């Protein structure tokens, strides 16, 4: 009897110890890592931890994310953090930003390949080898990985990769003025003049005849890069030598057409100073008649316009063409991608950070950020294709803000998005008003990633290119607002003269020597 009591006590102790150990293991397993993540865009305002997708990612990765965004000039905020050596755990910024080279050269960020070697070799299973090769530095190390990066092999693999550039018109205004041909400078000017005359206001707001992307310190995409693409201005000549695209005669003709509109007061002052957020608000109100824009930047506003009035949406139509009427050469997503994400050496838990990136880059992570949680937000249909649930889909197309707050899918967290992979699941939905904007670009989408070369701003060539671009940022508004073609020519000629006095021929020579004659990827894009 006594032995039985002893055995019973021992069993109880063993059970208690077992429970204690299991609790300890559970407590250890449930330990979460807090990571700060800086996004170098003032317009980004999505929080973390309140919607279904972010909660699911946190459960999967055991990482809590707190986003940091600038309230004013993004680069001033980032430069301040670099100077004060107070970088957060992760940093996301545009691939073209000079701060990337600065942080690498100053050894303020980890080499991702070194972290992967030490903590998570599965990282190599989820990255694109061509993308890694392109973004690696001359020392062979990879310091940042891009989102929305498509390599030439992706274009061979997928047939629905679109350009983000489109010429957009407000549907009802365009149809009211007779759906005119806007492919020539003359036709374009007449159409804008007619729209402005017929619709001084629209839906109770001022109608703005011409919209554009945000002006910044190096220019405005709508009036330089995008317009050059619509005019099919080549990057190289027949011998493979880099071309100074700003010297193209058709481009100058089109800038003068916009100048004419400016002289008539049809390039409103606000378009030169509006922030991206302010432009988004006016797009949401349908205030612009036409614009060369990136269609993904108005997808949410497009859905809102469609909900309120299907005729008030923006549609893609043929816009500016070169004087020969050639088809557009619109760039598809290139190997550069859009932004680059880096892990700072201030990160207290680089192991957790690299594992987080690995998960987000994986197919499981991509399905999570694009589609959301299976069974709750989507499921496979009878053909084995992912299909968003009707109620989720309806909210996505009618109230994006509410969708983000409840669900948080559809690339709400876009920092590591893989457009090529997602094209397998995100099909052209006829009920989505954005679909027309995307499909319009298919015939004109061209891979030109081999021509997008970034020079380290610490090099002489990098300094020249950066100085020339900064000067162009000052000159472009002056050209568009000049009072006459004569004044335009004077401003333009003075700029080009100064450009070459800076040594711009060295930039063209360097571009040619890197890889301009090859369609294959060079060892790296940052030289």
345-380 pLDDT per residue, tens = 999 999 999 999 999 999 999 999 999 999 999 999
pLDDT level of residue 447 (50, 70, 90 thresholds): confident
Both tokens of residue 288?
A: 């612009």
- Cα separation, 522 vs 365, in Å, equals 29
Residue ending a domain, among 402, 423, 444, is 423
Token pair 């190390």 is found at 141
pLDDT tens, 81-131? 999 999 999 999 999 898 999 999 999 999 999 999 999 999 999 999 989
> Is 159 part of a structural domain of the chain?
no
Beta strands in 61-119 (DSSP E): 63-68, 90-94
Q: Is the pLDDT of residue 431 over 60?
A: yes
In a domain, 145, yes or no: yes
How far from 408 is each of 412, 426, 495, CA to CA, in Å? 5, 16, 46
Its domain, for residue 346, covers 33-150+335-383+410-423
Statement to judge: residues 218 and 195 lie in one domain: yes
Residues 313 and 199 in one domain: yes
Span of 118-122, 299-303, 328-332, 428-432 with lowest mean pLDDT: 428-432
Rounded Cα distance between 373 and 379, Å, is: 9
Contact between residue 103 and residue 82 where contact means Cβ atoms under 8 Å apart: yes
CA 400 to chain CA mean position, Å:
18
pTM, two decimals, is: 0.78
* Tokens 């109770």, residue located: 204
pLDDT at 487 exceeding the cut of 90: yes
Q: Using the 8-state DSSP alphabet, how is residue 224 labeled?
A: T
**How confident is the model at residue 7, as a pLDDT?**
46
* Neighbouring C-beta atoms of residue 376, cutoff 10 Å: 13
31-40, 221-230, 302-311, 350-359: segment of lowest average pLDDT: 302-311
Stretch 275-304: mean pLDDT = 93
What secondary structure letter does DSSP report for 267?
A: S
The DSSP 8-state label assigned to residue 332 in this structure reads B
Q: What DSSP character marks residue 84?
A: T
Beta strands in 394-482 (DSSP E): 445-446
* Residue 395, domain member (yes or no): no
Which residue's structure tokens are 């060369």? 292
Q: What is the pLDDT of residue 414?
A: 96
126 & 269 share domain: no
Does the residue 488 lie in any domain?
yes
CB atoms near residue 135 (< 10 Å): 26
> Does position 16 have pLDDT exceeding 60, yes or no?
no
290 has pLDDT over 90: yes
Instruction: Look at residue 116 in the predicted model and tell me its pLDDT.
Output: 98
- Same domain for 310 and 352, yes or no, is no
Q: How many domains would you assign to the chain?
A: 2
Residue 201 — very low, low, confident or very high, per pLDDT cuts 50/70/90?
very high
Q: Looking at the structure, tell me whether residues 170 and 270 fall in a common domain.
A: yes
Return d(Cα 106, Cα 346) in angstroms, integer. 13
Is 203 within the bounds of a domain? Answer: yes
> Which tokens in the block code for residue 467?
């100085």
Give the mean pLDDT of 374-397.
93
Using pLDDT thresholds of 50, 70 and 90, give the confidence band for residue 27: very low
Q: State the distance between the two ends of the chain, measured CA to CA, in whole angstroms.
A: 84
Token digits of residue 411: 């690339």
What is the rounded average pLDDT of the residues 294-313?
91
Tens-digit pLDDT profile for residues 147-183: 999 888 888 888 778 899 999 999 999 999 999 999 9
Q: What is the pLDDT of residue 526?
A: 43
Alpha carbon 201 to its chain centroid, in Å, reads 32
Torsion of CA 167, 172, 173, 177, to 10 degrees: 100
CA dist 343 and 249 (Å) reads: 44
Please check whether residues 234 and 379 belong to one and the same domain. Answer: no
pLDDT of 518 above 80: no
* 274 plus 306 within the same structural domain: yes
Same domain, 290 and 175: yes
Is 441 inside a domain boundary? no
Give helix then strand counts, H and E, for the chain: 23, 15
With a cut of 80, say whether residue 140 has pLDDT above it: yes
pLDDT at 269 over 60: yes
Average pLDDT over residues 205-229: 96
Selected residue with higher pLDDT from 514 and 147: 147
CB 454 within 8 A of CB 515: no
Asked whether the predicted pLDDT for residue 237 surpasses 80, the reply is yes
Residue scoring higher pLDDT (19 or 211): 211
Average pLDDT over all residues of the chain: 90
Give which of 236, 256, 254 is closest to 245, Cα–Cα.
236
| Rounded distance between C-alpha atoms, residue 79 and residue 194, angstroms | 46
**Structure confidence at residue 141 as a pLDDT band (50, 70, 90):** very high
Answer whether 441's CB lies under 8 Å from 163's CB: yes
Split at pLDDT 50, 70, 90, the class of 1 is very low
In a domain, 474, yes or no: yes
Tell me, yes or no, whether 189 and 146 share the same domain.
no
Are both 473 and 503 inside the same structural domain?
yes
Residues 306 and 344 both lie in one domain: no
Question: What is the predicted pLDDT for the residue at 480?
Answer: 97
pLDDT tens digits for range 314-346? 999 999 999 999 999 999 888 889 999 999 999
Q: Are residues 57 and 100 in the same domain?
A: yes
Q: Which residue has the higher pLDDT, 156 or 143?
A: 143
Quote the distance between the C-alpha of residue 298 and its chain's center: 12
Residue 197 maps to a domain: yes
User: Element (H or E) spanning 504, and its range?
Assistant: helix 504-515
The CATH number of residue 49's host domain is: 3.40.190.10
């Amino acid at each position: 009897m006594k032995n039985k009591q002893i055995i019973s006590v021992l069993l109880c102790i063993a059970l208690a110890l077992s429970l204690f150990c299991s609790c300890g293991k559970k407590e250890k397993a449930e330990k979460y890592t807090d990571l700060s993540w800086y996004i170098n865009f003032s317009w980004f305002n999505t929080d973390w931890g309140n919607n279904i997708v972010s909660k699911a990612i946190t459960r999967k990765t055991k990482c809590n994310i707190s986003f940091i965004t600038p309230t004013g000039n993004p680069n001033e905020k980032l430069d301040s953090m670099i100077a004060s050596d107070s970088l957060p755990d992760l940093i996301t910024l545009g691939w073209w930003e000079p701060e990337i080279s600065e942080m690498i050269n100053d050894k303020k960020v980890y080499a991702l390949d070194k972290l992967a070697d030490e903590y998570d070799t599965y990282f190599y299973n989820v990255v694109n080898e061509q993308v890694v090769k392109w973004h690696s530095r001359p020392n062979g190390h990879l310091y940042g990985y891009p989102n929305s990066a498509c390599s030439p092999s992706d274009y061979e693999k997928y047939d629905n990769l679109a350009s983000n550039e489109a010429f957009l018109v407000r549907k009802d205004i365009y149809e009211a003025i007779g759906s005119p041909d806007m492919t020539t400078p003359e036709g374009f000017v007449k159409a804008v003049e007619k729209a402005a005359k017929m619709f001084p206001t629209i839906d109770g707001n001022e109608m703005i005849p011409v919209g554009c992307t945000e002006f910044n310190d190096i220019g405005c995409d709508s009036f330089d890069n995008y317009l050059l693409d619509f005019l099919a201005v080549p990057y190289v000549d027949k011998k493979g030598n880099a071309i100074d695209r700003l010297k193209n005669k058709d481009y100058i003709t089109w800038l003068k057409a916009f100048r004419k509109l400016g002289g008539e007061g049809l390039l409103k002052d606000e378009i030169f100073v509006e922030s991206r957020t302010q432009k988004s608000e006016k797009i949401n109100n349908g205030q612009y008649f036409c614009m060369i824009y990136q269609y993904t930047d108005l997808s949410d506003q497009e859905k809102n316009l469609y909900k309120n009035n299907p005729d008030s949406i923006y549609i893609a139509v043929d816009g500016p063409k070169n004087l020969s009427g050639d088809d557009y050469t619109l760039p598809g997503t290139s190997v550069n991608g859009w932004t680059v994400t880096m892990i700072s050496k201030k990160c207290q838990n680089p192991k957790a950070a690299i594992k987080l990136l690995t998960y987000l880059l994986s197919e499981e992570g991509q399905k999570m950020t694009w589609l959301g949680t299976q069974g709750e937000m989507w499921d496979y249909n009878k053909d084995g294709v992912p299909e968003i649930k009707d109620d989720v889909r309806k909210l996505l197309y009618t109230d994006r803000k509410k969708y983000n707050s409840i669900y948080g899918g559809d690339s709400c967290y876009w920092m590591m998005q893989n457009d090529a992979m997602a094209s397998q699941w995100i099909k052209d939905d006829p009920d989505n008003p954005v679909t027309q904007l995307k499909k319009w670009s298919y015939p004109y989408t061209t891979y030109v990633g081999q021509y997008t070369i970034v020079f380290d701003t610490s090099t002489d060539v990098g300094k020249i290119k950066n100085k020339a671009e900064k000067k162009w940022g000052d000159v472009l508004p002056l050209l568009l607002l000049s009072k006459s073609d004569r004044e335009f020519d004077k401003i333009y000629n003075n700029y080009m003269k100064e450009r070459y006095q800076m040594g711009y021929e060295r930039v063209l020579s360097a571009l040619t020597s890197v890889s301009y004659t090859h369609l294959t990827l060079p060892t790296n894009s940052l030289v």
